[in-house]
Amino acid sequence: MCGIVGFVGESQASPILLDGLERLEYRGYDSAGIAVINDGVMQVEKTVERIKSLIDETQNGATVKGNIGIGHTRWATHGAPSHANAHPHLSGNGKIAIVHNGIIENYLDLKNELIAEGVKFVSETDTEVVAHLLQKYYKGDMLDAVKNAAKRLEGSYALAIINTDTPDTLYAVRHFSPLIVGLGKDGNYVGSDVAAIIKHTKDVVYIDDGEIAVLTKDGAKFYDGDGNQIEKPVSVVDWSINAAEKGGYDHFMLKEIMEEPEALRKTIEPRIKNGEVYFEGLKLTKEKVKNIKRIVITACGSAYHTGIVAKYMFEEILRIPVEVDLASEFRYRNPIVNSEDLVIIISQSGETADTLAALKEAKARGAHVLSIVNVVGSSIAKASDDVIYTWAGPEIAVATTKGYTTQLAVLYLFGIYAATLKESCDKALIDELISELSTLNKKIEKILENKEEIARLSKKFCTDDSVFFIGRNIDFAVSLEGSLKLKEISYIHSEAYASGELKHGTISLIEPGRLVVALNCYEALSEKIYSNIKEVTARGAQVMATAFEGNEEIKKYADEIFYLPRIHPLLCAAVEIIPLQLFAYYMALNKGCDIDKPRNLAKSVTVE
Ligand code: F6R
């Protein structure tokens, strides 16, 4: 959840670190800091404000000289956001500085051990123990110290380390937290993700668990956990700096919503050939797909919501049971999964700690794990038996949008692929779904052309302090995501309900003026949702509904209607979510919220 960046090279390090931190700020924004070595002296600068204030205080790094340094943006876990708890952390002698992403689970034992040896702690963080351990193990060979300290650590970490005794060398090590090395012309970089360094280089090395990277201005060497040198492949990142910038939009979230048609085109088009769904290089054999008896989907947050959409679609066209489980529950509930099952893991970042742990649990029980991931080279992608990438490009806004719809697209494709092999539904339906899927991006373009209508509706409703989203079947699955989007960025309380459940308790919360967003694209159940709308309007609720173009009936029941281009109902989630994403965006905008960096949240949840 925290972001780390490091540089060693010809240029002054601090402007590079500060720029990298700004690009990583979406990973955490409680505090930030940099440490740079100049003429053998360590200089540390920190802020408990946003990175911008660190940039201002250091005159964009001008006051922090030196060609080697590390930086960090924090999402607090151990200790409040404070100057003392902000990274970088120093060893007791002030010679070693470290930044850390992850959680050191045995930090209390280590802390007690170090205190008994006379070490004084200045922060409440788990991280500080690592700086002191490094000093303890440093006997003139820093690689040795990193190796020995890492062996004492339990939990997850990506660490970048500098030492005034080795002022030309930057060390980095990882275990269960993302870490990449960037190889540039004027120096070399470490980062917790590509966004931190893409401005400088596209040549990256993905560090694996237990590995150590040693960087100088001339190159990088890699070692396994025992200190043996290893060779690592260099990958070329296939997106450019523009993809990680706002490009004229006020917020990344709006930019990423506007990118959805293109992200969907890139995700879908290459996988449809001659009217059939095709996946390159799957280890999952066609025979195995034909014989799948059960699918288990596990993920967190919005990714979990795409799994619920998939359950409705898969069960309809595959006629096998599909279970969807929150990864944080799955991993700790002794799940019944075995080699007969296909487990689908969904994650935009590919680094979500609970999702990664669920993946490992499923693999340990013998299931074939297919993951749907956006970030290439991420931990989940690496640990899976098969990966189908969503080609959404970098997603910077904390609230996912194009991540969600491209996950849906891959799920749709996989459902169609499996139904074709299993011959579990009519060929005519398969052909229709494939042809409809190819039109998805154009339909979403059309919705986006009408985004001012959503802006208008959000003005009408932005003073509401509580909103209900209701729907049935796939509409219910979408309502979960619409509600999450609204609450996470606008801080308006909202709940999503399967509309048939309302009268089993929740309807007591409906009072005059309450906004109910009724989703009505799954038309097979329209009559049912009309009844539910009548139940809430009878109690004074105002209803904003979604409906497909041509649905005149809905006008009798809803106060406001947002019409959507027609698509096959099994695919309706991908179009129906667009107005809900926009609605959340404009509601948050009207309230003056920090849309891209909502309070208490961070992108890429690498702690459980
Ligand atoms: C909500 C949101 C989160 C993520 C969740 C899983 O807008 O973005 O709920 O969906 O944290 O993240 P990934 O997909 O990276 O595993």
Could you tell me if the CB of 31 is within 6 A of ligand 1?
A: no
What structural domains does the chain harbor?
3-244 (3.60.20.10), 249-438 (3.40.50.10490), 448-593 (3.40.50.10490)
At residue 522, the pLDDT reads 95
Distance 393 CA to ligand 1 centre (A): 15
Given this model, what pLDDT does residue 86 score? 95
Answer yes or no: are the C-beta atoms of 418 and 603 closer than 8 Å.
Answer: no
pLDDT at 239: 83
d(CA 518, CA 530): 9
Instruction: Please state at what angle helix 440-449 crosses helix 572-590, rounded to 10 degrees.
Output: 30
What are the distances in angstroms from CA 550 to CA 471, 521, 579, 580? 19, 11, 18, 20
Pocket test for ligand 1, best of 354, 485, 605, 608 (most atoms within 8 A of CB): 605
Give the catalytic positions in this structure: 2, 603
Ligand 1: centre distance to CA 349 (Å)? 8
Report the run of H or E that residue 254 belongs to, with start and end.
Answer: helix 252-258
Of 575, 584, 605, 597, which Cα lies nearest the Cα of 405? 575
Q: Is 605 in the pocket of ligand 1 (CB under 6 A)?
A: yes
Contact 21, 3 (CB under 8 A): yes
**Within 10 A of 313 (CB to CB), how many other CB atoms are there?**
27
Pocket test for ligand 1, best of 253, 348, 580 (most atoms within 8 A of CB): 348
Q: Is the dihedral of CA 455, 461, 463, 467 positive or negative?
A: negative
Other CB atoms within 10 Å distance of the CB of residue 442: 12
Closest CA to 431 of 444, 416, 418, 443: 416
Say yes or no: CB of residue 577 within 6 Å of ligand 1.
no
In degrees and rounded to multiples of 5, residue 260 shows phi and psi of: -60, -40
CA quadruple 331, 334, 340, 344: dihedral, nearest 10: -20
Q: Which amino acid is at 113?
A: E
User: How many C-beta atoms surround the C-beta of residue 112 within 10 A?
Assistant: 11
Residue type, 325: D
Q: Which residues contact 449 (CB under 8 A, 6 or more apart)?
A: none
Compute the distance from residue 184 Cα to the ligand 1 centre, in Å: 31
Nearby residues of 228 by Cβ (< 8 Å), 6 or more positions away: none
Does residue 400's CB lie within 6 angstroms of at least one atom of ligand 1? yes
Ligand 1 contacts CB of residue 399 (under 6 A):
yes
Residue 452: CB atoms within 10 A of its CB come to 10
Protein residue whose Cα sits closest to atom 16 of ligand 1: 347
Angle between helices 402-422 and 427-437 (to 10 degrees): 160
pLDDT of residue 536: 96
Give me ligand 1 centre to Cα 178, in Å.
Answer: 16
Q: Are the CB atoms for 322 and 314 separated by under 8 Å?
A: yes
Nearest atom of ligand 1 to the alpha carbon of 380: 16
Q: Which of 352, 371, 389, 490 to mutate to test the pocket of ligand 1 (most atoms within 8 A of CB)?
A: 352
Tens of pLDDT, residues 492-512:
999 999 999 999 998 999 999
| Whether the CB of 303 sits within 6 Å of ligand 1 | yes
Q: What is the pLDDT of residue 136?
A: 98
- The span from the CA of 206 to the CA of 209, in Å, is 10
188 backbone dihedrals φ, ψ, rounded to 5°: -130, 155
Residues in the chain, pLDDT under 50: none
**H/E run at residue 534:** helix 526-537
Q: Whose CA is nearest to atom 1 of ligand 1?
A: 399
Res 488: pLDDT = 97
Spacing, Cα 403 to ligand 1 middle (Å):
9
Compute the distance between CA of residue 190 and CA of residue 58 in angstroms, rounded to an integer.
22
Q: How far is the CA of 301 from the centre of ligand 1 (A)?
A: 5
Of 508, 514, 525, the C-alpha closest to 468 is 514
**Strands (DSSP E) found in 94-218:** 96-104, 155-163, 170-175, 180-183, 187-191, 203-206, 212-216
Is any atom of ligand 1 closer than 6 Å to the C-beta of 253? Answer: no
